[in-house]
Amino acid sequence: MAGHFPFSGKANRVSVYAFFEAHNWNPEAQGKYFERWYGWTKNFVMNDSDLRAAKGVLFAAGPFHFGTHAGYDFHLHGYAIATRLLDLGEFVKGNILPKLDVDALHALEHEHRIWIEEANFAAAAHPRPEVPEIGRYRHV
């Protein structure tokens, strides 16, 4: 079930960005998608007493500010959202998904499809520039 999320399995920033690229999402759409994951995760943490006590402080820094790479672009040249989603996704994968039963995972999958549709709608309003012949993360 959890294999349908971009950070599932052996994910890294390249595979997460490839998910964005496969959907042809511009930075606005990527941001919307990340915000949905962030909101869902924060809500789950704040409503779970164990997680709130142990990890609630991670969500106190401000809106959509989570993870080692929050607020930084490093060498990603504008692709920081993929790295932020990976940071958040690692948290979700390790701390929240194991707590969910089958019905909760199905509900999350349903919500996830809606988030993808919302991001697709945002991307349609502002098309993404063409991908260069040499991909963004490929080495020359």
112-127 pLDDT per residue, tens:
999 999 999 989 888 7
Question: Which residues span the domain enclosing 61?
Answer: 6-125
Domain presence at residue 31:
yes
- pLDDT tens-digit profile of 69-84? 566 665 555 678 888 8
Domain presence at residue 114:
yes
* CA–CA distance, 41 with 58 (Å, rounded to integer): 11
Angle at CA of residue 39, ends 53 and 37, nearest 5°: 110
Domain presence at residue 24:
yes
- pLDDT tens-digit profile of 80-109? 888 889 889 999 999 999 999 999 999 999
Domain count, the chain: 1
In the chain, the DSSP E strands lie at none
Residue with tokens 């502002």: 126
Kindly tell me if the per-residue pLDDT of 47 is higher than 90: yes
